Amino acid sequence: MSLHTLRRWLGANALRIYAVIAFAYIFLPVAYVTVFSFNNGGRSNIVWRGFTLDNWADPCGAPEVCTALGNSLKIGVISTVLATVLGTMIAFALTRHRFRGRTATNLLIFLPMATPEVVLAAALLTLFLNLGVPRGFWTIVIAHVMFSISFVVVAVKARIATLDPRLEQAAMDLYATELETFRRVTFPLVAPGIAGAALLAFSLSFDDFIITNFNSGAVNTFPKFVYVSAARGIPAQAYVIGAAMFFMAMIIVAVGEVLRARRVPRG
Amino acid sequence: MVHVPIPTAEHPPAPAPSPRGRRWTPYMLLTPGMLWLAVFFGLPLVFVFLTSLYVPAPSGLAGEYVPAMRWANYSEAFVEYLPQFGRSFLYAGIATVLAFLIAYPLAYAIAFKTGRWRNLLLILVVAPFFTSFLLRTMAWRQILADEGFVVPVLKALNILPEGMALTASPVAVVAGLTYNFLPFMTLPLYASIERIDPRLLEAGADLYGNSFTVLRKVTLPLSLPGIVSGTLLTFIPAAGDYINAQLLGNRSTTVLGQVIDSRFFRIVDYPAASALSFILMITILVLVLVYIRRAGTEDLV
Amino acid sequence: MSGDLRLQGVVKSFGSFVAVDDIDLTIPEGSFFALLGPSGCGKTTTLRMIAGLEEPTSGAVHLGDLDITYLRPYKRPVNTVFQNYALFPHLDIYENVAFGLRRRGVKDVSGAVNEALELVELPHLARRKPAQLSGGQQQRIALARAIVNRPQVLLLDEPLGALDLKLRRQMQVELKRIQTEVGITFVHVTHDQEEAMTMADTVAVMNQGRIEQLGAPIDLYESPQTTFVANFLGQSNLVPATRKGSEEGVVVVDCQGQLLHVPAGRLTTDQSAFLVGVRPEKIRLADPGADASGMAATAALNRLTGGRIVDASFSGVSTQYLVRMPWEQELMVFAQNLEVGDLFPAGSAVDLVWQREHTFGLVGDRVAGVE
């Protein structure tokens, strides 16, 4: 291959090459976490000491890891359900109904997304302090629902916007009451958006540190656990959980894609 | 025609009056969620504002404050922590620019050069962020450490002078911020770029010939909405973030978030912490409004 | 229960904009009725009020003896075929067609569904999804989905708009056939005047929220009562004229200095100044002073002299002539190409001749309705 051809090939594929490099950059920490989850590093997982499957065999080996994980999962599920329901209701009200105070409503929904986490955290803590509310499991749930609602509203609204209102009109024209229309036409078509919003809410909750840290009292969550152990040394089991979360997410997404591809038959 | 018993249209009942009862539906749908936001977002902000004006209790006990209207709390907090303020916005600003430079070509590549793998690649952009945020940041700390593999390579290539470390430095903090908020920049950019009609790009190439001119005059302006949302979605959380500064920085890289954190939990000074939070929020809001006005997009929600 | 569909004094306004302005309409049971008009004239809004998807601001809608003005759409024995078909994307064709039946509680839908699919000749598509069908197929399924419920009135909102010409012509014939076979009242909304005239028994021409004229297609065409109707349905030559006098059953008019005769019944106004109209295909060209070929000299004819041919466009079946008259107006003449070869080349001087009974007269703006 002459130099000229090489240069031409590079020019045509420059962007693709760049994309590969960019993805390598994006995946580097994940790769690191995955690799080190197999490290025989014991409590302080900084230097590579040798390959072992022990960590994966016994992910709860390090103290507090599984308690923290369990809390994170419980909080995640509860806050996701609440945020998704509340947010979906708001999204429908915004897109399908007329009411007064629309600007104020939009503002109240948009503001939490524009407010830095540390401010949200501090504000909520101030509320709890002033009202004498002890911080613990339920204050975390309250906080997570609070910041997730806005994201759910945006995600579901976007999905509803793609819904042709004439479909609902057609349903009513065909003898479906408002409730039946919602059940048979609107909801099935909006469901993927709601599912996406729920997934988003769950990941926001699971991964949240700052707001949780301010409002959790003594209750441990997974991010809190990692942060606190950062000084002493993060146990390899935490890496196992991190890697496992990543792979589980990938599997869920892969399954979703396969299902979607199946539902649209070719031809 | 086949004679099949066709169900006849039912006899509709007597005419119903114009339905007015449906007016309460939107309020029923809105109330639970909006109430939650009002109580756990709106009300706390009110409390923050009030607390920011408190003064130390006459009893002199540490951590005790009484209601007051001391506006000087604001000027004092602002002046005392100006460096941290500056750093929060400086790091966030640089990180946003870097994230933009990294994400734009990537978003463009995914939109136009990847055909049917698009959706998969988009997911791959976001996927690593299913690993815990803290773990990722810790991983960077390890990767950028002297014992990692990046530093020795850079030193061997003479890019990094001897004796200088990457971790516990502003460079690491900005690098961490850039990395952690990359998807927030990439996805909106992609959404905007993907909507560009490829024929416009062809027409541009026809007119201008030079691909950089096409980029400057056609692609960038057309993807402006995505650029606006991307930069906002990156800058806002980055300006408030302090985990990157905490884990990847040192004592001279402290940002506002750390100050607020310590004023709540270590040195208990609620008024100062509240004042700082409020200033931070207002500053960001003002910046966002100015930015939106200049860039011209209206409906972000 | 059965009956005519009646709209009385129906008004629909959106804020200060009046979309439908006092419509009175009776649509006989079992007829094929068309609402014809340009976009924005209020025809779709009227249709939606019949369907129940809009509420009138005032007025009443009756189906037979039943007042359906404020009934919810799912309570009316009326079904709609939407402009973009509005097939449910998440259901297959069978379930789409069965939708109305199921909502009404019918247990065994297979008979009716299969019959409806046979009617539109698409039984083999029952298990496909709407996205897999072509536009024409989707349109027929939308029709099947509505008809299967045997409503008293079937509403069609510009259902053929998205189809290409050949398919549209095919579907026009199909719809007419189905309507005759099934016997349901069809109300068809369209902006295509050819479509309305081919398919409908009765046409109502709407403009800016009002009905300009209502009647059988041939009446609307040959006897337009407003300039809008004259210009919207086909093309018309409209020339300003003044009344001069009348003879037995005939009004004599001064048309730009020339005398024309208009049958008294075809002049819809008492005013002294109005427009005299004649359709381009009714006019024959003649050499100045000579007889027009095909028109007996003894017939009651109108003649306009002094024309000069400005343009002659050959379009296979006919030739369209533009003739400039002495008063600077250009009139159109459509001549069927009975002879081969150019009979009247551009530049020739001609007279325009037509039968008196084809003349009509009305008031209004000469260019109203021209788009």
- C153 and C292, same domain (yes or no): no
- C15 and C148, same domain (yes or no): yes
Q: pLDDT class for C326, splitting at 50, 70, 90?
A: very high
Order of strands, sheet of C202-207, starting from the edge strand that comes earlier in the sequence? C78-81, C153-157, C185-190, C32-36, C202-207, C210-215
Nearest to C87 by CA among C137, C41, C121: C137
What is the 8-class DSSP label of residue C60?
E
| Residue C73, min C-alpha distance to chain A (Å) | 5
Q: Which of A107-116, B57-66, C2-11 bottoms out in mean pLDDT, i.e. has the lowest?
A: B57-66
C86 vs A contacts (CB less than 8 Å): 164, 166-167, 169-170
Is residue C368, in this structure, part of any structural domain at all?
no
- C201 and C240, same domain (yes or no): no
Residue B78 has pLDDT above 90, yes or no: no
Residue B6 has a pLDDT of 35
Q: In angstroms, rounded to a whole number, what is the distance separating the alpha carbons of residues C246 and C241?
A: 14
Is residue B209, in this structure, part of any structural domain at all?
yes
**Last residue of one domain, picked from the residues C183, C201, C227:** C227
Residue C371 has a pLDDT of 57
Residue A263 has a pLDDT of 63
Output B88 or C3, whichever has higher pLDDT. B88
Q: In angstroms, rounded to a whole number, what is the distance separating the alpha carbons of residues C112 and C131?
A: 23
Element (H, E) at C239: strand C237-247
**Last residue of one domain, picked from the residues C192, C210, C227:** C227
Residue A214 has pLDDT above 80, yes or no: yes
Is residue C241, in this structure, part of any structural domain at all?
yes
Q: Contact C86/A170 with Cβ under 8 angstroms?
A: yes
- C208 and C271, same domain (yes or no): no
| Residue C154: CATH number of its domain | 3.40.50.300
Residue A83 has a pLDDT of 96
Q: Give per-residue pLDDT as tens, C40-93.
A: 899 999 999 999 999 999 999 999 999 999 999 999 999 999 998 999 999 999
Is residue C57, in this structure, part of any structural domain at all?
yes
Is residue C95, in this structure, part of any structural domain at all?
yes
Find chains touching chain C: ≥3 CB pairs under 8 Å. A, B
C82 vs A contacts (CB less than 8 Å): 166, 169-170
What is the span of the domain harbouring residue C143?
5-227
**Can you tell me the mean pLDDT for B220-238?**
88
Output C289 or B99, whichever has higher pLDDT. B99
DSSP strand pairing (C153-157 vs C78-81):
parallel
Is residue C31, in this structure, part of any structural domain at all?
yes
Is residue B18, in this structure, part of any structural domain at all?
no
Q: What number of residues does chain C have? A: 371
Q: Number of folded domains in chain C?
A: 2
CB-CB under 8 Å, A30 with B136: yes
Which of A92-106, B105-119, C225-239 is most confident? C225-239
| Residue B106, min C-alpha distance to chain A (Å) | 5
Find chains touching chain A: ≥3 CB pairs under 8 Å. B, C
CB-CB under 8 Å, A222 with B44: no
Q: Which of A236-245, B152-161, C16-25, C171-180 bottoms out in mean pLDDT, i.e. has the lowest?
A: B152-161
Which stretches of chain A are DSSP H helices? Answer: 3-36, 54-57, 65-96, 102-114, 117-131, 137-161, 165-173, 178-181, 187-206, 210-215, 222-232, 236-263
Q: Contact C209/C19 with Cβ under 8 angstroms?
A: yes
Q: Give per-residue pLDDT as tens, A59-74.
A: 787 778 888 999 999 9
Output C95 or A42, whichever has higher pLDDT. C95
What is the 8-class DSSP label of residue C40?
T
Is residue B274, in this structure, part of any structural domain at all?
no
Is residue C212, in this structure, part of any structural domain at all?
yes
In this complex, the residue of B2, B5, B9 whose CB is nearest that of residue C152 is B9
- C12 - beta bridge partners? C20
To the nearest whole percent, how much of chain C has pLDDT over 70?
98
Q: Give per-residue pLDDT as tens, C134-171.
A: 988 999 999 999 999 999 999 999 988 888 888 888 88
Q: Give per-residue pLDDT as tens, C19-30.
A: 999 999 999 999
- C180 and C253, same domain (yes or no): no
Residue of chain C with shortest Cα separation from B19: C70
Residue B38 has pLDDT above 50, yes or no: yes
Residue A267 has a pLDDT of 36
CB-CB under 8 Å, C82 with A174: no
Q: What number of residues does chain A have? A: 267
Is residue B266, in this structure, part of any structural domain at all?
no
Q: In angstroms, rounded to a whole number, what is the distance separating the alpha carbons of residues A125 and C363?
A: 78
Torsions phi, psi of A45, nearest 5? -95, 65
| Residue B115: CATH number of its domain | 1.10.3720.10
CB-CB under 8 Å, B288 with A117: no
- C221 and C351, same domain (yes or no): no
Q: Which of B1-5, B14-18, C316-320 bottoms out in mean pLDDT, i.e. has the lowest?
A: B14-18
| Domain boundaries defined on chain A | 3-55, 63-234
Q: Which of B131, B143, B248 to mutate to test the interface with A (most CBs of A within 10 A)?
A: B131
Residue B13 has pLDDT above 60, yes or no: no
Residue B8 has pLDDT above 60, yes or no: no
Q: In angstroms, rounded to a whole number, what is the distance separating the alpha carbons of residues C170 and A181?
A: 34
Q: pLDDT class for B158, splitting at 50, 70, 90?
A: confident
Q: Which of A98, A159, A163, A173 to mutate to test the interface with C (most CBs of C within 10 A)?
A: A173
Q: Give per-residue pLDDT as tens, A224-247.
A: 988 888 877 788 888 888 888 888
| Cα–chain center distance at A128 | 26
| Cα–chain center distance at B66 | 35
Find chains touching chain B: ≥3 CB pairs under 8 Å. A, C
Torsions phi, psi of B132, nearest 5? -60, 135
- C136 and C184, same domain (yes or no): yes
Is residue B261, in this structure, part of any structural domain at all?
no
A166 vs C contacts (CB less than 8 Å): 82, 84, 86
Output A1 or B73, whichever has higher pLDDT. B73
CB-CB under 8 Å, C149 with A173: no
**Can you tell me the mean pLDDT for B287-293?**
83
What is the span of the domain harbouring residue B143?
85-254
Region A63-234: CATH code: 1.10.3720.10
**Helix, strand, coil content of chain C in percent (nearest 5):** 25, 35, 40
Q: Number of folded domains in chain B?
A: 1
Residue A8 has a pLDDT of 82
Q: pLDDT class for C202, splitting at 50, 70, 90?
A: very high
Q: In angstroms, rounded to a whole number, what is the distance separating the alpha carbons of residues A28 and A22?
A: 10
